[in-house]
Structure 1
């Protein structure tokens, strides 16, 4: 007879797994992929290093799941914007603005998600995340092409790829650990982030708008 785990055992295993993921995410947020080691994750989660490997066979697999979980939240936020009742250009502007502002709230984590060198498994998860974001942007572009707000002489998938590549590239400098990051709550910092987000979003909208007046 096959062994079946009791509900209490399943709950404990799930709790341990979530603790590991939470600890790993916190370490990446603090120091990026290179600073987050399995031993540090285990210590932060309150368990032995060997116990972490019971749930994740390798460091790369652990952090690929961290990236996937964080990234899915960003995709979900953009998807909600894409389904709003605003015009296509307004949705595009809001999507880019939201992405930039959310990234700047946790610059070290966002830099790891977007640009930091990493293991192959993590990079593959990052490419899937980028493709998912491009798909959301493509849906907005196609809606705008249908109502005439967005030019029809460009392929929606190509335009989405260019726009996503553009706003992610535009964030690499501001997010870089080489830049001294002021406290996110500082008023001047918030104003600078808002301006950065607006400028990047305007450029994204202007690149596809069928008329010169963009948000």
Structure 2
């Protein structure tokens, strides 16, 4: 007769896994991929280092899952905006501005997810979710073209790739650990983030907006 895990054992195993992922995410938020070592994750989760490897065969696999979990949440948020009411331009502005604001709430983690050098497995996961974000933006542009709200002389997939690449590139400087001007709780910082989000979103919308008629 095959051994079957009891509900209590299954719950404990799942709890260990969740604690490992949460500890890894916290460490990446504080110091990026290079600072987050498996031994540090184990200590933060309150388990032995060997236990981490029971759930994740390698450091790269562990952190690729951390990236996937965080990135999927961002895709879900943008998808909700894309599926909401309003004009395509308004939804595109909201999607880009929301991404920027959310990134700047945890700038160290966002930098790791977007631009920090990392292992191949982590980078592959990063590209997967970048493509998913591009698909959300593409769907908004396609809606805008169908409704004749956006210019029809650009391909939605190309426009989406350019827009996503643009707003992520525009974020790298503000997100960089080298930027020492980050004081997340101050009103000045919040205003700067709001202006940054609006400016990047406006530029994204301008690239696909129907140009005004020439006189």
TM class by shorter chain equals: over 0.9
Aligned to 1:194: 194
Which runs of no fewer than 5 residues in structure 2 stay unpaired? none
CA distance in 1, matches of 2:129, 2:174: 21
**CA separation of 1:15/1:114 partners in 2, compared to 1, >3 Å: closer, same or farther?**
same
By how many angstroms is 1:183 displaced?
A: 2.2
> Would the aligned equivalents of 1:149 and 1:211 in 2 still touch at CA under 8 Å?
no
Alignment deviations for residues 89-129 of structure 1 (CA, whole Å, 9 cap, x no partner): 00000000000000001000000000000000000000001
CA distance in 2, matches of 1:64, 1:72: 12
* Worse overlay, 82-91 or 204-213: 204-213
CA distance in 1, matches of 2:172, 2:31: 16
Residues 1-215 of structure 1: pairs in structure 2 closer than 5 A = 1-212=1-212
CA distance in 1, matches of 2:191, 2:12: 44
Moved over 3 A (4+): none
Aligned residues: 213
By how many angstroms is 1:3 displaced?
A: 1.4
By how many angstroms is 1:182 displaced?
A: 2.7
Which runs of no fewer than 5 residues in structure 1 stay unpaired? none
CA distance in 2, matches of 1:196, 1:202: 10
Alignment deviations for residues 21-42 of structure 1 (CA, whole Å, 9 cap, x no partner): 0000000000000000000000
CA distance in 2, matches of 1:86, 1:183: 34
By how many angstroms is 1:193 displaced?
A: 0.5
What's the secondary structure of 2:141's corresponding residue? helix
By how many angstroms is 1:177 displaced?
A: 0.3
